Amino acid sequence: MERRNLVDIDGNAGMAWKVYAFLGVSAILLVLSSYPGRAQSASGNTTAIENGQKQFVANCSFCHGAEATGGRGPDLVRSKLVADDEGGNRIGEVIRDGRPQKGMPAFTMTSEEIQDIADFLHSRVLAAEHSRTMGNGGYPLSRLLTGNAEQGKAYFDGAGGCSTCHSPAGDLAHIAGKYEPLQLELRMLYPRGVTPTVTVTLPSGENVQGELVHLDEFNVALRDASGWYRSFSRSRVRVSVHDPLAAHQALLSKLTSDDMHNLFAYLETLK
C-alpha cells in the first residue's frame, strides 16, 4: 500500500506549538521525566506520531476510536499487547496478520507506517499515564490557574464565540470535574477525536458522503457509512469538507495568552 500524504486538516503543528507555549516547558519536561521506561518505547518523533495518528484514524478508528480508547474494538491505550510492544514488533504482527476470529482484517502496510502507528499508540499510553499522575498532584492547579474567570466568561460569551456551539449547562456541564486541570487545558486548546466529513458530488449529480480519509490537490478519499473506502479524482468532482473543529482551529490563531488563561480559569469554575 502506498504511503498516504494526508493534508494536515486540523493544523496539528500550529496547534501543538500553541499548547507548548501556553503550558510552558516545565509541563512538557514533566511528562518525559516522570516516565523514563515508557518514554523509551515512544520515539519522541513528533512527525512520526502525527503520521501514525493519521494512519490510525484512517484505518483503525472505525473500531478502536479516534483516540484509541475503544469502540467496537478494544481499548488500545490499556492494551497489554501495546504495553509489551517494542518498536512495533507486536503491533506490526497484529496489523499484518489481523485477528479474523475477532473480526479484525489484515492490513497491508509498510514497516514505516506500522512504526508510525506504534509511536502514536505509545504516545497515547504516555498521555494517559501522565494524566493519572496529574490527578495525584504531579502538576498543581495553582501553576495553571493564573487567569481571570470573569474575563474568561466574557470572552466565552462574547468575542470568542464559544457559546454559539457550547453551553456551560449542556455539553460543558461539570467539565472541570471530568478532567484533570492539565488534561482540560489540552482539550480546550487542542480538541481531538472528531473526524471531518466530506461530500463528493459526482458528474452525474450524485452525492457521496462519508468520513474524510485523504485530501490533496489531486485526490479525495472517504469511508462511507457502510465502511467502504472510496477515492475520486478532484478534477472530476466537487468537494465540500465539513470539519466540526474548524471554529476551534480558527480561534486558536487569534487567542492571546491572556485569552487562553482567562478562558481556562472560567472552565475550571464549571464543576
Q: Element (H or E) spanning 91, and its range?
A: helix 89-97
Give the pLDDT confidence of 37-92 residue by residue, as tens digits: 343 345 557 888 888 899 998 999 888 888 888 877 888 887 888 888 888 889 99
Q: Is residue 210 a contact partner of residue 223, using CB atoms and an 8 Å limit?
A: yes
Residue 267 lies in a domain: no
Mean pLDDT calculated for residue range 158-181: 88
Could you tell me which of 189, 66, 174, 179 has the C-alpha nearest to residue 130?
179
Query: Do 209 and 133 belong together in one domain?
Result: no
Task: Supply the angle between the helices 12-23 and 25-34 in degrees, to the nearest 10.
Answer: 90
Q: End-to-end CA distance of the chain, in Å?
A: 48
pLDDT confidence of 177, banded at 50, 70, 90? confident
Overall residue count recorded for the chain in this entry: 271
216/130 same-domain check: no
In a domain, 81, yes or no: yes
Alpha-carbon separation of residue 64 from 14, 106, 210 (angstroms): 27, 15, 18
Give the contacts of 263 (CB within 8 A, at least 6 positions apart): 147, 152, 155, 156, 160, 162, 188, 255
The domain tally of the chain equals 2
131 and 46 in a common domain = yes
Tens digit of each residue's pLDDT (9 = 90 or more) over 203-213: 999 999 999 99
In a domain, 271, yes or no: no
Asked if the model's pLDDT at residue 18 lies above 90, the reply is no
Q: Residue 103: which CATH number?
A: 1.10.760.10
Q: What letter would DSSP give residue 192?
A: -
- Burial (CB count within 10 angstroms: exposed 0-12, middle 13-18, buried 19+), residue 231: exposed
For residues 134 and 206, membership in a common domain is answered with no
Assess whether 135 and 39 both reside in one domain. Answer: yes
> The CATH number of the domain where 219 resides is what?
2.30.30
CB atoms within 10 A of CB 243: 16
Considering the domain architecture, whether residues 43 and 131 belong to the same structural domain is answered as: yes
Phi-psi bin for 191: left (phi > 0), alpha (psi -120 to 50), beta? beta
In a domain, 49, yes or no: yes
What is the grid cell recorded at 125?
A: 499510553
pLDDT at residue number 32: 39
pLDDT > 60? residue 138 = no
* Domain identity same for 133 and 229: no
Indicate the pLDDT class of residue 94, thresholds 50, 70 and 90: very high
**Domain-embedded: residue 148:** no
- What sign results for the dihedral spanned by CA atoms 114, 119, 125, 131? negative
pLDDT at 186 over 90: no
131 shares a domain with 214: no
Residue 160: is its pLDDT beyond 50? yes
Helix (H, G, I), strand (E, B) or coil at 234: coil
Name every residue whose Cβ is closer than 8 Å to that of residue 83 and which is 6 or more positions away in sequence: 125
Same domain, yes or no, for 43 and 124? Answer: yes
Convert the pLDDT of each residue in 206-236 to its tens digit: 999 999 999 888 999 999 999 999 999 999 9
213 inside domain = yes
For residue 96, the enclosing domain spans: 35-139
Q: Is residue 154 part of a domain?
A: no
Q: Average pLDDT in the 21-45 region?
A: 46
Residue 208 lies in a domain: yes
